[in-house]
Amino acid sequence: MERPSYLPSTLRPPRAQCLAVVMVGLPARGKTYISRKLARYLSWLGYQTRVFNVGAYRRERLGMKHTHEFFDPSNMEAESARRSMARAAMEDMLGWFREGGEVAIYDATNHTRDRRAMVRQGCERAGVPVLFVESICDDEAIIASTVREIKLNSPDYVGVDPDEAVQDFSARIAHYEQRYETLDASDGSFVKLINVGHELVLHDLRGDLPGRLVRVLMNLHIVPRPVWLTRHGESAYNVAKRVGGDADLTPRGERFAVRLTDFFNDHVIPGDDVQVWTSTLKRATQTARYLPSPLVTWRALDEIDAGIFDGMTYEEIKAQHPEEYARRQKDKLRYRYPRGESYEDVIQRLEPIIIELERQRSPTMVITHRAVLRCLYAYFLDQPPSSCTRLDVPLHTVIELTPNAYGCDEERVPLGDPVPEEV
């Protein structure tokens, strides 16, 4: 039997793994921040991922206003209410796994062995392995800033005087400290994260997925810095509407290279150790050629490989290979060009770039291509992979992204010579 030319990609075998990532830590240790970060990374890689936040269950079912007394371990009534919220979130999580969910992040303090045993036993009964992730922080400055910046924006303290909120929240932390039990070997697989990635303790980790999560956790930091994403300047192939290739810049593309250098010089503070990353293709390195920083060229940043269609126009592909064209229109994420790549393939090869970008503490400029830029953008803006294939990323525009505690701020800076979008 003849093999079909169309071999859709998959990021990984379906339901190869499922995992419950169970957070552990006192209040104000960045658990929710870490949960969201892991969820964003996993969703981007194509895992069915969901965060189950026990605090949200409490607010939704028991009301918004809970002062610190509610968290006092000697308040038996409240203790039982909190336990039933933890159980409700766990039951929902297990139900979600039964419906095909792959990685759940169970976001709560889980600060006692007893509470952790409840979650672990529930997961074990459902055949779901557990990885505990504990965030420990004894750096008073970090804790104080988390208390101020994050907790004062928390729905728990809407309309509460800031000083009162800080006082109440500190009392809440003290209640949890009374019973806090750090993870140990009896808890099974775990990662302990000490002072936002300064130190990591790993215990009994198995499999590829926990290993990947460790790489994300290792590179966590909260230093704000911009990531500038841009496509190369216009190339001769853009004008001819041809995909792929390795064409030179046009005069308009050249002008963009000059304007990008002005942008760079205007935005970089002297002394900043700015990274400039490009693909290995001429149109990207030519765009970077006037920049004052040394270039790092990454093969992983090369444009999606259009395989046997490289160098053709979309119209030629449609006329000569209508079935292939239609398949791509139908499922652009998974459609793999014959002897080329799909968007899923591109996401896969960009994973080390994401980890490196997360690690950077200084500004980074990335000069790359349409499909690659869409995938990188989708990661930072938490867009589902299914929608990333059609994101608008025009030529001659710098997308400035500044990661923050909740996600990312975005600003788009057009640098002259708008170019009609290729379709």
Alpha helices (H) in 45-112, listed in sequence order = 54-62, 76-98
Nearer to ligand F6P, 26 or 371 (CB): 371
Choose among 234, 337, 350: nearest CA to 284: 234
Which is the catalytic residue, given 18, 102, 134, 137? Answer: 137
CA distance 230 to 328: 25
CA distance 235 to 247: 6
User: From the CB of 407, what's the least distance to ligand F6P, in Å?
Assistant: 25
Q: Percentage helix, strand, coil, to 5, in the chain? A: 45, 15, 40
Region from 69-77, 143-151, 238-246, 397-405 binding ligand F6P, contact rule CB under 6 A:
238-246
Is residue 303 part of the annotated active site? The answer reads yes
Pairing of strands 397-403, 190-194: unpaired
CA distance 170 to 165: 8
Token pair of 353, please? 């770039």
Kindly tell me which residue out of 371, 375, 376, 401 binds ligand F6P, with binding defined by CB under 6 A: 371
Q: Tokens 């607010």 map to which residue?
A: 59
User: From the CB of 354, what's the least distance to ligand F6P, in Å?
Assistant: 19
User: From the CB of 348, what's the least distance to ligand F6P, in Å?
Assistant: 16
User: From the CB of 397, what's the least distance to ligand F6P, in Å?
Assistant: 14
User: From the CB of 278, what's the least distance to ligand F6P, in Å?
Assistant: 14
Region from 128-136, 148-156, 271-279, 299-307 binding ligand F6P, contact rule CB under 6 A:
299-307
CA distance 421 to 423: 6
Segment holding 327, helix H or strand E: helix 322-330
User: From the CB of 345, what's the least distance to ligand F6P, in Å?
Assistant: 12
Kindly tell me which residue out of 306, 388, 393, 415 binds ligand F6P, with binding defined by CB under 6 A: 306
Is residue 232 part of the annotated active site? The answer reads yes
Which is the catalytic residue, given 66, 111, 175, 232? Answer: 232
Nearer to ligand F6P, 66 or 327 (CB): 327
Kindly tell me which residue out of 226, 244, 363, 403 binds ligand F6P, with binding defined by CB under 6 A: 244
* Residue 173 sits in the site that holds ligand F6P (CB under 6 A): no
Is residue 331 part of the annotated active site? The answer reads no
Kindly tell me which residue out of 26, 93, 243, 401 binds ligand F6P, with binding defined by CB under 6 A: 243
Q: Long-range contacts for 178-186 (Cβ within 8 Å, ≥24 apart)?
A: 178/73, 179/73, 179/111, 179/112, 180/26, 180/111, 180/112, 181/111, 181/112, 181/113, 182/134, 182/136, 183/24, 183/116, 183/132, 183/134, 186/113
* Residue 369 sits in the site that holds ligand F6P (CB under 6 A): yes
* Residue 234 sits in the site that holds ligand F6P (CB under 6 A): no
Nearer to ligand F6P, 236 or 296 (CB): 236
Strand order in the sheet with 19-24: 49-53, 103-107, 19-24, 130-136, 190-194, 199-203
Please list the active-site residues. Answer: 107, 137, 232, 303
Q: For binding to ligand F6P (CB under 6 A), which residues are involved?
A: 238, 243-244, 303-304, 306, 369-371, 422
